[in-house]
């Protein structure tokens, strides 16, 4: 669809206000929010990621594209939530210490809120103790850690270890995800659950809270 290609192109150019307007236009045309996300916004981010890897664009371009992505997601967010006032549990989420990537984390948050979970968002560059303090303060059932760098994913083990050493051990589950994360890594650090994408993370979180 033309408007989805336009969203992708505008995002790649980092035109945040125009991305917002185009996302709204796509919604007005009756295109499903999930399709706008996957075939418009994420498609554009995929192109930027590929160009970044190949050295065709650099950090500033990626940054403005990421900002445009977040603005587009803001418009979609109310349309992706179930709207039902249900309380299925509380989750603490953040990107691990040393890591500033938050687009995937924000998507996970959005999907979880859409499933009726209360999400406490700690942002990026989150120290292990901060996850545990927030889980304690908010009586959360799950700590969710996102990491995009192979150099920062090791922080997830620090979160698991800090939790095990605290009085919260056994009361809170740890879920992990992000591009470099695998099931094997999850098993190796003793985290409770790995999911590869935002939708499956939200489903797993609902199951863990129910269990
Ligand atoms: Co960065 N970066 N970046 N970057 N960046 C990557 C990740 C990289 C793969 C690019 C590349 O080289 N091809 C590479 C990592 C290489 C590696 O570690 N092996 C990289 C690098 C090297 C860097 C810097 C070191 C670059 C530099 O400064 N020289 C630097 C690090 C800064 C830091 O964090 N300390 C850096 C900086 C940046 C920007 C700031 C410019 C920007 C981030 C802006 C922002 O997030 N606000 C940025 C971006 C945008 C990217 C790419 C292009 C896109 C990432 C993204 O948002 N993808 C990325 C290349 C790529 O991935 N193609 C890259 C879209 C997003 C929806 O996907 O986050 O994977 P993702 O989330 C998915 C799943 O992984 C999953 O759900 C989401 C969708 O369903 N998921 C979870 C995520 N978290 C989850 C948690 C869960 C479950 C599922 O449970 C809890």
Ligand 1 atom nearest the C-alpha of 151 is: 18
Helix 103-114 vs helix 59-80: crossing angle, to nearest 10:
0
At residue 151, φ and ψ (nearest 5 deg) are -80, -20
Q: Region 197-207: what's the mean pLDDT?
A: 90
* pTM as predicted: 0.85
Ligand 1 atom nearest the C-alpha of 48 is: 53
pLDDT (tens digit, 9 = 90+) per residue, 70-120?
899 899 988 876 544 457 899 999 999 999 999 999 888 887 886 778 999
pLDDT (tens digit, 9 = 90+) per residue, 31-76?
999 899 989 998 998 898 889 888 999 888 988 998 898 899 899 9
- Asked if residue 182 has its Cβ within 6 Å of ligand 1, the reply is no
Retrieve residue 6's tokens.
Answer: 């336009």
More confident site: 30 or 83:
30
Non-local CB neighbours of 109 within 8 Å, separated by 6+ positions:
93, 119, 121
- Asked if residue 109 has its Cβ within 6 Å of ligand 1, the reply is no
More confident site: 109 or 150:
150
Per the document, the length of the chain is 211
Alpha carbon distance 94, 104 (integer Å): 10
- Asked if residue 108 has its Cβ within 6 Å of ligand 1, the reply is yes
**137 exposed, middle or buried (CB, 10 Å; 0-12, 13-18, 19+)?**
exposed
Direct distance between the N- and C-terminal alpha carbons of the chain, in angstroms, rounded to an integer: 41
Helix (H, G, I), strand (E, B) or coil at 126: strand
Per the CB < 8 A criterion, the answer to whether 20 and 74 are in contact is yes
Retrieve residue 132's tokens.
Answer: 């545990």
- Asked if residue 59 has its Cβ within 6 Å of ligand 1, the reply is yes
- Specify the residue with its C-alpha closest to ligand 1, atom 15: 149
Sheet holding 90-95, edge to edge: 118-121, 90-95, 142-146, 173-177, 193-194
Non-local CB neighbours of 23 within 8 Å, separated by 6+ positions:
7, 36, 40, 41, 72, 75, 76
Ligand 1 atom nearest the C-alpha of 145 is: 91
- Specify the residue with its C-alpha closest to ligand 1, atom 42: 63
Which regions of the chain does DSSP assign to beta strands (E)?
90-95, 118-121, 142-146, 173-177, 193-194
Alpha carbon distance 181, 158 (integer Å): 15
* Residue 167 CB coordination number (10 Å): 9
């Amino acid at each position: 669809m033309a408007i989805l290609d336009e969203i992708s192109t505008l995002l790649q150019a980092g035109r945040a206000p125009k991305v917002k307007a185009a996302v709204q236009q796509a919604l007005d045309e009756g295109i499903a929010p999930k399709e706008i996300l996957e075939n418009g916004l994420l498609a554009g981010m995929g192109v930027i990621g590929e160009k970044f890897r190949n050295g065709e664009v650099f950090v500033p371009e990626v940054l403005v594209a990421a900002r445009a992505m977040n603005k587009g997601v803001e418009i979609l967010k109310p349309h992706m939530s179930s709207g039902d006032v249900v309380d299925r549990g509380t989750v603490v989420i953040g990107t691990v210490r040393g890591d500033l990537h938050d687009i995937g984390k924000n998507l996970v948050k959005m999907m979880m809120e859409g499933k009726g979970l209360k999400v406490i968002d700690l942002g990026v560059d989150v120290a292990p103790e901060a996850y545990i303090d927030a889980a304690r303060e908010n009586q959360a059932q799950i700590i969710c850690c996102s990491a995009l760098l192979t150099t920062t994913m090791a922080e997830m083990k620090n979160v698991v270890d800090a939790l095990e050493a605290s009085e919260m051990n056994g009361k809170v589950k740890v879920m992990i995800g992000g591009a470099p994360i695998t099931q094997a890594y999850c098993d190796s650090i003793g985290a409770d659950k790995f999911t590869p994408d935002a939708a499956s993370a939200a489903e797993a979180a609902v199951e863990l809270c129910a269990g």
